Amino acid sequence: MSSATMPTAINRTFSIAPMLDWTDRHYRYFARLMSSELLLYTEMVTTGAIIHGKGDYLAYNQEEHPLALQLGGSNPEDLAKCAKLAAERGYDEVNLNVGCPSDRVQNGRFGACLMAEPDLVAQCVAAMNEVVDIPVTVKTRIGIDEQDSYEFLTEFVDKVSAAGCDTFIIHARKAWLQGLSPKENREIPELDYDRVYRLKQDYPQLSISINGGVKTLEECGEHLKQLDGVMVGREAYQNPYLLAQVDQQLCGLDKPVLSRDAVLENMIPYIEKHLVSGGRLNHITRHMTGLYQGEAGSRAWRRYLSENAHKPGAGIAVVHEARASMELK
Ligand SMILES: Cc1cc2nc3c(=O)[nH]c(=O)nc-3n(C[C@H](O)[C@H](O)[C@H](O)COP(=O)(O)O)c2cc1C
């Protein structure tokens, strides 16, 4: 096997949730600088985009490993084709999205609505497992609409695990397929962590990670007493410096914690390379506006970047100026 196809060992203790438009390869590079242990997920990529699209939807930086590709789709053959491509490109895991409630996604018959079709999800998982050696995992919800009993969830898990999926990431909130926007459905209805704990107790042989509403590493520590992993979405994006202590606090690694300035400094060569290749500054810096959250001057940092980084020709000086603007406060 070449190094590109040798999967990196996966530690599921802490992962960053797949988030469309947010967890692109620039954000993921930035996140990886702060933790060698966390597991990264790509934004959801549909099988249609991969198979018929013109762009390279599977591109990533080698530094991102361990990295999971999240797929959106429900056609077993297409999913198998995409999973195989992902494995060939060196992804460490393929994850199926059975959690997104968006209308657009439902029309394509994938996302959370698939929870109502456990046999189809099982076929999808089996088809992917047949063609790859990397783990095939599922991210789902605790229920959908009125189908929110514990038995509904266990029937889903029974069928999908029998098809070869031994790792589930459960967003501890049911999906409402009508009447709520995906954004609203990330706050309503309320979270039910106990249901995910119960699932782990009943399925000790499966790896179960919890997702939804987690904001601190202390909360992660509490969940980890009961579960195999915690997946964090919005907080990991809006307050990314949280990630700087994942390795020490959650994974037991004995290593120094990088300062915020050190993280910034480590991003500079990456940004410069991107600029030299014709990329725009704000494609990267838009993911970094939360770096100084909670620090004096963080608003100045954020404002300077959002007012200047998108301008044509904006270069690395804008980043240094944004940092300097914090001191003027
Ligand atoms: C901007 C945004 C985009 C998202 N895109 C995806 C996606 O592509 N695939 C997916 O499974 N979930 C997606 N989600 C849901 C998150 O993965 C996660 O389940 C949800 O935000 C709850 O976790 P949190 O409370 O830690 O943010 C998205 C969430 C946000 C905020």
The pLDDT value given to residue 112: 81
The pLDDT value given to residue 1: 39
| Alpha carbon 318 to chain centroid, angstroms | 29
Residue closest via CA to ligand 1's atom 6 equals 19
Quote the ligand 1 centre to 256 CA distance (angstroms): 30
CA 130/CA 54 separation, integer angstroms: 27
Write out the H or E segment, with its range, that includes residue 159: helix 150-162
Write out the H or E segment, with its range, that includes residue 95: strand 93-98
Angle at 114 between CA 210 and CA 194, to 5 degrees: 25
Closest ligand 1 atom to the C-alpha of 232?
Answer: 26
Question: What is the pTM (predicted TM-score) of this model?
Answer: 0.96
In the chain, what are the domains? 3-250 (3.20.20.70), 260-327 (1.20.120.1460)
- Ligand 1 neighbourhood includes 99 CB (under 6 angstroms): yes
- Ligand 1 neighbourhood includes 192 CB (under 6 angstroms): no
Buried-exposed string 274-285: b where 16+ CB fall within 10 A, e elsewhere? bbeeeebbbbbb
Residues 6+ apart with CB under 8 A from 171: 99, 139, 140, 141, 142, 211, 212
- The residues of the chain scoring below 70 in pLDDT are 1-5, 102-108, 329
Quote the ligand 1 centre to 19 CA distance (angstroms): 5
Query: Percent of the chain scored above 70 by pLDDT?
Result: 96
Condensed to tens digits (0 to 9), the pLDDT of residues 198-241 reads 999 999 999 999 999 999 999 999 999 999 999 999 999 999 99
Q: Which tokens belong to 184?
A: 């609203």
- Ligand 1 neighbourhood includes 211 CB (under 6 angstroms): yes
CA 71/CA 111 separation, integer angstroms: 10
- Ligand 1 neighbourhood includes 22 CB (under 6 angstroms): yes
- Report residue 209: phi and psi, to 5°: -110, 150
CA 160/CA 249 separation, integer angstroms: 33
Q: Which of 20, 94, 97 to mutate to test the pocket of ligand 1 (most atoms within 8 A of CB)?
A: 20
Q: Catalogue the active-site residues.
A: 100
Binding residues for FMN, by number, are 18-20, 70, 139, 171, 211-213, 233-234
- Ligand 1 neighbourhood includes 96 CB (under 6 angstroms): no
Quote the ligand 1 centre to 262 CA distance (angstroms): 28
- Is the backbone of residue 170 left (phi > 0), alpha (psi -120 to 50) or beta? beta
- Ligand 1 neighbourhood includes 274 CB (under 6 angstroms): no
CA 142/CA 199 separation, integer angstroms: 10
